[in-house]
Structure formats: structure tokens, C-alpha cells
Structure 1
Amino acid sequence: MKRKLVMALSGAYVLFMAILAIYYHTQDLSFKSVIAIGGVICGAIPLLLTFFKKIQFNLPIVISYLIFLLGSQFLGSLMGWYGLGWWDTFMHVISGVILAYTAIALYERLTHRSAGHEISPWLVFLFTLSFAVFGGVVWEIYEFSTDQLFGQTLQGGGNTDTMTDLIADTLGGLVIATIAGVRTKIKKQ
């Protein structure tokens, strides 16, 4: 049931973005068409992950990810909400939160069950926070590279935009990492 729901939601998002890509291409809006193609690729990730038995993310993470894509790609880039000023920062906070929850899910799946009582809450905190921050750094490298190689303006505010985004990613990750560390400490008692 869960697998079918993930496939349906992911497939719906991919289809929606594919239709938008075709529409924008026919309207000679190449920038928006490229964003929609990126939406097809990003939306297909949960769909592709359903074929791997060892890497199954829980439904709330997948739904949060697809909502995030809708907010960032459709509302932010295609509908112009990034022009609001605060939307980009908000999306980076949400990104940090989703990446931190993804880190927790990976941690729980990749560590041996018996190791749970032996692992320090600080390690859980650091892993979760580091994963969220690393995701933000990789995104900023993508933005910088795209601007340099293809003459785009993803880093509209330059260094200020980059640092604000990284701080927002870190804050989102920090909240969830703190909760994960405290939760781990409570479980050890």
C-alpha cells in the first residue's frame, strides 16, 4: 500500500512537471522549461527508490519531499514566489529539516539494531546536523556552478544569498538534530 502510494504521488508530480515542461517549451520559455525538466528528474527519485528494498524511506519523508519540490520548483521558480524575498530562506529551512529527517532514516537503516544503546547521542546529533548542512552545501555548489558555467543567476544575491541559504539550512537541520540527540539520550536511560 505504502509503495503504491509513493509511486502514485511521485508519478503524479512527474507527469505534472512533464506537462509543464512541454507547455513552457511550446511557449518558448526555455528557462521555465528547464526547471520543469528538473522537476521531472527530482520527482522521479522517490519513484526510483521504490525499486530498492534496502533503501525505503517512510511515507512522511517522501510526502514532505514532494511538497518541498512543489514549493521550490513550481511555486518558487515557475510561479515567481522567490521574488517575495523570504520564500527562498523559508524553503532552505524546510530543506534542512527534510535532510535531517532523511539522515535519521538513513542512520536507523544503516546501523545494527544492537548498536543503538552503544551510540552516543552526540554522534546522532552530529551525523544529523552534518547531513543537513552537507545537503545545503551541495545545493549551493550546484547554484554557483550553474551560474559560472551557464550564465544563470541562481545566486541572485551573491555571497549574501549563499550565506543566508546555508544559515537557513543549518538552522532547520539544527532543530531536528537537537531533537534526535535528545531522543537518543532518553532512549539510552
Structure 2
Amino acid sequence: MSSDAGSGGERASDGGSAASSNVGADASSDVESGPKAGEMGETADAPASAALARFRSLVDLDERTQRWLARAMQLTLVGLLFIGLERGDLGIIVNTAVALAITYLPAILERDYHVPMNPGLTLWISSAVFLHALGTVGVPGTDQSFYTSLAWWDSVTHALSASVVAAIGYTVARGIDEHTEAVRLPPRFMFVFILLFVVAFGVFWEVIEFAIGGAADITGNDAVLTQYGLEDTMTDLIFDIVGGVIVAVWGTAHLTDVAGAVTARLDGTGD
């Protein structure tokens, strides 16, 4: 009897083990068949990645289009220069003439100093000076410029121009950093340096605007650059910082070749 009971106990134990094994197998099967944590994350990120890819495809311009846009801006600046001459407006003449000259600077740097200026960088520089010059002209047939009729125009041009200034500051600093071991600029410090460089140049620019405006008032001539007060100055500096942050975060990768050319020039190995 005890033997039968023992056998029954063994059978019960075997049955319990089998049941436990089946439950474990079912649970394991459910876990394996369910989505993994990584897969869930990838599934959730898929729409965002697809949207980002679509956005990049919309704004991505090939080199031919970039060159065409830069040339179109140059031709438009020539037209704006003639508008300034026809109006006898010194501000339009000076701003468009300087902007037109700057649009040829990338080609000069690449031809004479062998600094690699791809179409994207050329378009970046051209856009900054073009929008500034266009803002001084405004809509033909009216007396108002875009700077006076559109409140956001000044902010956009300041941010874009500041990004170009930040790019120049980064390129020179990176070239010096690579050229000599006496100077070492860690990435975090480079970020701060770009912002400080942009702010310093922004303050210098505001002083120039103030001086030119004061000189124009004294002489009774039209001001080439205009300052609209303390609030305008503070807003300009804020958007200068915005332009600097954009370059510090996303723009430095596009300036590696240019910084390398500056380093080679400092090393004496550039052509």
C-alpha cells in the first residue's frame, strides 16, 4: 500500500512537473511571439524617421541647383544695384554693391587660396548677404523696405548672417587648433567659443550701426545702416546667438574641409 502510494506520489509529481513544464513553455512561447522592447521602440520611431527622411528629400538640393540659386542671387543683386542708382538711394547702392562683392568671395578663395568652397557653402554665404540687401530695397513702387514693413525680416537676416560669422570663427579657430600643439580647444570649449565670437561680433556690428546712424544725422545724409533703438539691439543679439548655436550644433561638420585647408595654409603645406 505504501508502495502504491509512493507510486501515486511519483505520478503526481511527474504530472506536476509536466504541467509546470507546459506552462513555462506556453509562457516562453508567448514572450517570444510578443514584440521585443527594441522592436517596439523601432516601430514607434519608424513614423518619425520616415517623416524626417521625407523632409530631407524636400529640402535636399543637388549641387547644380545650389549653383543656379547662387547665380540667380547675383543677377538679382545687380538688378537691385540699378534700382538703388535709379532712386539715388545711397543705402541701397552700398548694401547691394557690398553684397554682390561678397558673393564672389567663395570663388576667389577657392581659385587663389585653394580653400574648398562647395556649392552649399557658397549658397549659404550668398543667401545671407542677398537677404540683407533685398531687405533694404523692399517692394518696388513703395517707400517701405522689408526691414521696416516686415518685423521678422531683421531677425532672420541677423540669424543667417551670424551663422556665417560663426562659421568663419570656427574655421579659423579649428585651423589654429590643428596647426599648433600650443593651442588646444576641446569640443565643449569650441561650442562656447563660437557663441562668444558671435556675440562679440554682434556687439561690434551694433556699435558700427550706431556710429553710422549718428554720423548720418550730423551730416544730414541717408544712413547706410540703421539702428532702431535698444530693444532692436537686444533682439538682434538674441538672434545672433541663435545663428551661432545652429552652427555650433549642426554646422561644424560641413566646415571640416575648409578648416583643413586653413590648417594646411598655416603649416605651409597648402598649394
Normalised to the residue count of structure 2, the TM-score between the two structures is: 0.52
User: What is the identity percentage for the equivalent residue pairs of Structure 1 and Structure 2?
Assistant: 24
Give the match for residue 146 of structure 2: 81
1:31 aligned to which of 85, 91, 95: 91
2:169 aligned to which of 103, 126, 149: 103
Specify the code of the residue in structure 2 equivalent to 1:62: T
Give the match for residue 129 of structure 2: 69
Give the match for residue 227 of structure 2: 155
Root mean square deviation of aligned Cα: 3.2
Distance in 2, Cα, partners of 1:28 & 1:111: 47
* Equivalent position SS for 1:33: helix
* Equivalent position SS for 2:88: coil
* Equivalent position SS for 1:112: helix
- Structure 1 portions without partners, runs of 5+: 182-189
Give the match for residue 131 of structure 1: 197
Give the match for residue 165 of structure 1: 236
Give the match for residue 20 of structure 1: 80
Specify the code of the residue in structure 2 equivalent to 1:48: I
Deviation at 1:84, TM superposition (A): 0.8
* Equivalent position SS for 1:111: helix
Distance in 2, Cα, partners of 1:46 & 1:122: 29
Deviation at 1:19, TM superposition (A): 4.1
Residue 200 of structure 2 corresponds to residue 140 of structure 1: no
Q: Return closer, same or farther for 1:22/1:134 CA change in 2, 3 Å cut-off.
A: same
CA contact (8 A) 1:89 1:165 kept: yes
1:94 aligned to which of 146, 156, 160: 160
Give the match for residue 100 of structure 2: 40
Q: Return closer, same or farther for 1:13/1:109 CA change in 2, 3 Å cut-off.
A: farther
Distance in 2, Cα, partners of 1:176 & 1:167: 15
Distance in 2, Cα, partners of 1:95 & 1:105: 16
Specify the code of the residue in structure 2 equivalent to 1:78: V
Deviation at 1:55, TM superposition (A): 4.5
Instruction: Pick 1 or 2: higher relative contact order, CA cutoff 8 A, min separation 6.
Output: 1
Which is higher, the Rg of structure 1 or of structure 2? 2
Deviation at 1:12, TM superposition (A): 6.2
Deviation at 1:133, TM superposition (A): 1.9
CA contact (8 A) 1:96 1:169 kept: yes
Specify the code of the residue in structure 2 equivalent to 1:160: E
CA contact (8 A) 1:32 1:78 kept: yes
Deviation at 1:166, TM superposition (A): 0.9
Q: Deviations over 1:36-78 (max 9, x none)?
A: 223233334334323442644454232111011221211x111
Specify the code of the residue in structure 2 equivalent to 1:49: L
Q: Deviations over 1:110-148 (max 9, x none)?
A: 332796xx6422221122222222332232122112101
* Equivalent position SS for 2:113: coil
CA contact (8 A) 1:61 1:98 kept: no
Q: Deviations over 1:74-107 (max 9, x none)?
A: 1x11122222111111221222333223333333
